[in-house]
Amino acid sequence: MARVVAPEGERSAAHRAAVAASRVERQFSHDAILKGVEAGLVKRAIEEKLLRLDEVHRLIPASTFARKVREGRKLSREEADQVARLLRIKGYAREVFEDTGVAESWLSEANPALGNRVPAELLLTDEGTRAVETVLRRIDYGDYS
């Protein structure tokens, strides 16, 4: 597998982010989503810099998210599923690029392989997510640069 390699000092930061992401992603398992995921878990993911607030607000309206966090409520299945999808793709991008900054840039810039669409914007749907995942997989295996 061909990978973009980050400078030595940034690898440890990428590794720490990967470990934190893995811990959070496990809490978004199929069963957890069906039972209900606390909004506070998403807030912790934001605090750990695994997600950005603007990304979460793209999935869950700001007032709804704030209310659910404040009241200790659970996300709906759809909200939790979308957050899980976002976490998974961001984690995969960090893994492929071995650098959080590069992964964030890649996700936020128009990409010719996606019809010049922004990968992060495609994560709102399952089909869009699959397209982003396909391009990341191609990069991971050296089929696309």
pLDDT tens by residue, 87-99: 999 999 999 999 9
In Å, what is the CA distance from 142 to each residue of 6, 14, 16? Answer: 16, 20, 25
Each residue's pLDDT tens digit, 35-75: 999 999 999 999 999 999 999 999 999 999 999 999 999 99
pLDDT given for residue 10 in this prediction: 54
What whole-number distance in Å separates Cα of residue 116 and Cα of residue 128? 13
Residue type (1 letter), 93: A
Handedness of CA 106, 108, 110, 111 (dihedral sign): positive
Helix, strand, coil fractions of the chain, as percent rounded to 5: 70, 5, 25
130 pLDDT above the threshold of 80: yes
pLDDT given for residue 1 in this prediction: 45
